[in-house]
Amino acid sequence: MTIQAGDRLPEVPLQRIRNGVETVDTGALFEDRKVVLFAVPGAFTPTCSEKHLPGFVAHFDQFRAKGVEVACMSVNDPFVMQAWGQSQHVPDDLMMLADGNGQFTRALGLEMDASAYGMGTRSKRFALYAEDGVVKQIFVEAPGEFRVSSAEHVLSQLP
Start-end of H helices in 9-136:
26-30, 46-47, 53-58, 60-65, 78-87, 103-108
Identified catalytic residue from 9, 48, 97, 130: 48
Distance CA 147, CA 128 (A): 13
Q: Is 48 noted as a catalytic residue in this protein?
A: yes
Distance CA 35, CA 77 (A): 22
Q: Are 126 and 110 in contact (CB under 8 A)?
A: yes
- Tally Cβ neighbours within 10 Å of residue 92: 7
The DSSP symbol for 8 reads B
Q: Are 83 and 98 in contact (CB under 8 A)?
A: no
Catalytic residues: 48
